[in-house]
C-alpha cells in the first residue's frame, strides 16, 4: 500500500487526487473545517475513489461532516483499525459491519457499533511514518524548554480521566505504550534524525505511576532531554526524581488560574494551594516549570485576574515560562455543550471562530463585563510580558 500525505491550507486548496483509490481527510479542529471543505470540493478524484473523514471535528459533528463533505464514511474514535477495514470494503462500499463509523444508508445517516478501545497502545507501529513528511515538519530547534536542542514530539499515552469544563478531549480511558516500545522509537529518532531531546504531547502522562516508572527505566540511558504536560495534583516528589533522572527537564502545568472561584467554575478539581505545592516541589527537584494560563472563563473579572497575578508574582522565581491563552468555548467541551446554562453567546456557526490562538471574541456577559474582561486581560498580559518576556 502506497500512502501520501498532503498539507493543505487557504493557499493550497486544490489537489489532483485522481491516482488515489482512497482519500482520507483529517480535520484536527473545527476552526480548520472550512479549509478542509474547500479542499474536498476543489480537488478532483477518480470516479470510484473512496472518500472518508476523521479527526476532532468529525468526532464532535459526525452527521454534519458526513452530509456536508459528502464522504462515504466518517470515522469516530480511534481510526487505525477502522481505516483499514474501510479500505477493504472499498469495492462494495458496504460499511454496516465496520465498527466506529457514521455513514449514509437509504438517504439517512447511520451509526455503527462503537469500537472498543484497546487497553494498551503496543499494537501501534513502533516507528510512525514520519518519512512521509518533510523533516522540517517534525524536527526543530528552539522548542524544547528554551534550549536549542534538536528535538521532536512523541506520544507515550492517550486519554485523560479528568473532566475540565473547557477541555474538548473526548477520551477518558488512559492508554499507554510500554517502555520497550517507546525506547525503540527514540533510538530510531536518535540514530536517523540526530535528536537530542523530545517533548511528550500526552495530556497527562503522570497519572499511572507504574507506567511512568516502566517508561523512565526503559529510556534513562539514552541521554535525551525531554518535557511533559501535567496537572498539579498528579505529581509527587518520587515522580519528579524518576522523570528527572530519566532526562526530563521541564514540566508544563495546566494551572489555568490563580482564583479558587475560577478553578471551581472550570471544574479543574484542583486548589490554589496544590498549585503552589506542585511548583515549589518541581523547582526543588531541579526541573523547570512552565505554566499555562487561561483567562476569561465565565465569571472572570478584575478581582479573579488579580488573584492570578498574585499567584504568578509569588512564584515567579520558580517559573521559567508562562503561556497565556484567552478562554474559547471549544466544540465538544462541557462549557460549549451547555452553552445556555453557561450563558454563552453562541450562534449556529460560531464553532468556526473557536480557534485557541489570541481569540478576542466576546463569548459571555454584557458590554460592561466584556470591557472589564479586556482591561483585566491587558493587565495580566502586561504583567507576564514584564516578568517573562
- In whole angstroms, what is the distance from residue 32 CA to residue 16 CA? 20
Quick one: cell of 137?
Answer: 515538519
Closest to 292 in 3D by CA, of 317, 267, 275, 306: 275
Confidence band, pLDDT 50/70/90 cuts, at residue 355? confident
- In whole angstroms, what is the distance from residue 373 CA to residue 296 CA? 6
Domain formed by 16-111, architecture? 3-Layer(aba) Sandwich (3.40)
Query: Is 378 exposed, middle or buried, given 0-12, 13-18 or 19+ CB atoms closer than 10 A?
Result: exposed
Confidence band, pLDDT 50/70/90 cuts, at residue 86? very high
pLDDT digits 0-9 by tens, 19-50: 999 999 999 888 889 999 999 999 999 999 99
Count H helices and E strands in the chain, helices first.
12, 15
Sign of CA dihedral 224, 227, 233, 234: negative
pTM: 0.92
Quick one: cell of 122?
Answer: 503496543
Q: Under a CB-based contact definition with an 8 Å cutoff, are residues 209 and 157 in contact?
A: no
pLDDT digits 0-9 by tens, 111-124: 999 999 988 888 88
pLDDT digits 0-9 by tens, 250-259: 999 999 999 9
269 phi/psi in degrees, rounded to 5: 70, 25
Quick one: cell of 150?
Answer: 534538536
**Domain coordinates in residue numbering, the chain:** 16-111, 130-388
Quick one: cell of 139?
Answer: 524536527
Query: For the domain 130-388, what is the CATH code?
Result: 3.80.30.20
Query: Is 268 exposed, middle or buried, given 0-12, 13-18 or 19+ CB atoms closer than 10 A?
Result: buried
pLDDT above 90 coverage of the chain, percent: 81
Residue bearing cell 454534519: 64
Amino acid at each position: 500500500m502506497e500512502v501520501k500525505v498532503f498539507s493543505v491550507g487557504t493557499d493550497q486548496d486544490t489537489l489532483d487526487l485522481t491516482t488515489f483509490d482512497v482519500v482520507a481527510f483529517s480535520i484536527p479542529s473545527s476552526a480548520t473545517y472550512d479549509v478542509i471543505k474547500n479542499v474536498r470540493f476543489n480537488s478532483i478524484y477518480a470516479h470510484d475513489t473512496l472518500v472518508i473523514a476523521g479527526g476532532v471535528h468529525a468526532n464532535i459533528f459526525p452527521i454534519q461532516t458526513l452530509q456536508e463533505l459528502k464522504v462515504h464514511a466518517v470515522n469516530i474514535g480511534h481510526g487505525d483499525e477502522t481505516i483499514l477495514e474501510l479500505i477493504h470494503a472499498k469495492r462494495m462500499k458496504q460499511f454496516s459491519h465496520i465498527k466506529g463509523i457514521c455513514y449514509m444508508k437509504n438517504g439517512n445517516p447511520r451509526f455503527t457499533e462503537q469500537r472498543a478501545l484497546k487497553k494498551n497502545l503496543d499494537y501501534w507501529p513502533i516507528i510512525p511514518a514520519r518519512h512521509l513528511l518533510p523533516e522540517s515538519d517534525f524536527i526543530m530547534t528552539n522548542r524544547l524548554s528554551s534550549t536549542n536542542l534538536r528535538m521532536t514530539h512523541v506520544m507515550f499515552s492517550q486519554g485523560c480521566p479528568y473532566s475540565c469544563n473547557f477541555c474538548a478531549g473526548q477520551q477518558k480511558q488512559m492508554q499507554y505504550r510500554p517502555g520497550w516500545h517507546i525506547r525503540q522509537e527514540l533510538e530510531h529518532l536518535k540514530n536517523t534524525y540526530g535528536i537530542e531531546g523530545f517533548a511528550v504531547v500526552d495530556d497527562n502522562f503522570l497519572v499511572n505511576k507504574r507506567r511512568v516508572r516502566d517508561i523512565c527505566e526503559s529510556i534513562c540511558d539514552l541521554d535525551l532531554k525531554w518535557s511533559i504536560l501535567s496537572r498539579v495534583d498528579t505529581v509527587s516528589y518520587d515522580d519528579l526524581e524518576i522523570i528527572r533522572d530519566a532526562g526530563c527537564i521541564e514540566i508544563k502545568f495546566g494551572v489555568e488560574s490563580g482564583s479558587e472561584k475560577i478553578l471551581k467554575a472550570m471544574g479543574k478539581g484542583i486548589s490554589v494551594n496544590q498549585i503552589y505545592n506542585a511548583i515549589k516541589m518541581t523547582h526543588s527537584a531541579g526541573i523547570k516549570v512552565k505554566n499555562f494560563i487561561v483567562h476569561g472563563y465565565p465569571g472572570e473579572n478584575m478581582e479573579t485576574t488579580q488573584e492570578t497575578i498574585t499567584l504568578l508574582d509569588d512564584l515567579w522565581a520558580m517559573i521559567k515560562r508562562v503561556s497565556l491563552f484567552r478562554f474559547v468555548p471549544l466544540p465538544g467541551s462541557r462549557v460549549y455543550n451547555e452553552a445556555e446554562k453557561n450563558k454563552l453567546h453562541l450562534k449556529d456557526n460560531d464553532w468556526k471562530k473557536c480557534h485557541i490562538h489570541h481569540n478576542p471574541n466576546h463569548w459571555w456577559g454584557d458590554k460592561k463585563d466584556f470591557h472589564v474582561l479586556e482591561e483585566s486581560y491587558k493587565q495580566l498580559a502586561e504583567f507576564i510580558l514584564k516578568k517573562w518576556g
